[in-house]
Amino acid sequence: MTDLFGDPAAFLQRLVLQVPALLLAVTVHELAHGLLADRLGDPTARLQGRLTLNPLPHLDPLGALAFVLAGFGWAKPVPVNAYNLRHPVRDMAWIAAAGPLSNFATAFLGLVALGLARQIADVPLIGAPLIGMLVWIYQFNLALAIFNLIPLPPLDGGHFLPYFLPRRSWTLLHQLEQYGPFLLLLLVMTGATRYVLGPAFHLVSSLLIATARLLF
């Protein structure tokens, strides 16, 4: 918001690069959930037209607006019916993991593409915008993957819990699902998530960069 009123041109320039990168991150994330759910026996996402690289079915209008205005938003979750799965608890954990894993993979591919794109950095009207977009692709995918690993419903990390915790704790988990969104909003609004996500982002980023350097 500060850039929007202080330097509208810079805000719009950055938004032009950020929006495609964000759309790619959320589309890959939700598509991965739907594809694995379909593979494990639940066709709900496929029947609702969510197995697509078209970002529009995955967008939540309010979440997209929140991103533009506040830098934080959300997508429309892919529907999954656990009753269609052969092993509901285990399969739901795998489906939840598919989203972050797909973002880690996309972040790494974006990093590799960034290394290649630096060779054309001096090309007018192409080099700088391309590099800028690839930077955002890398950052958005990595941040989305790490953020979704927070063990709190409705994030993917919250869907891992039933698989790793004993059955007697599931009643508590169902209660946590009711208050999870409010707790998550509180953590984000107070900035508490930065104390965990910041170090995790830098650690994983260092590992990915070190791995990518082996290719060049």
Per DSSP, the three-state class of 59 is strand
Annotation says 30 is catalytic: yes
C-beta separation of 134 from 119 below 8 A: no
Residue 131 CB coordination number (10 Å): 16
C-beta contacts of 105-112 below 8 A and 24+ residues apart: 106/24, 106/25, 106/28, 106/137, 106/141, 107/137, 107/138, 107/141, 107/142, 107/145, 107/208, 108/208, 108/211, 108/212, 110/134, 110/137, 110/138, 110/141, 111/138, 111/208, 111/209, 111/212, 112/212, 112/215
Of 21, 24, 30, 78, catalytic? 30
Catalytic residue positions, numbered: 30
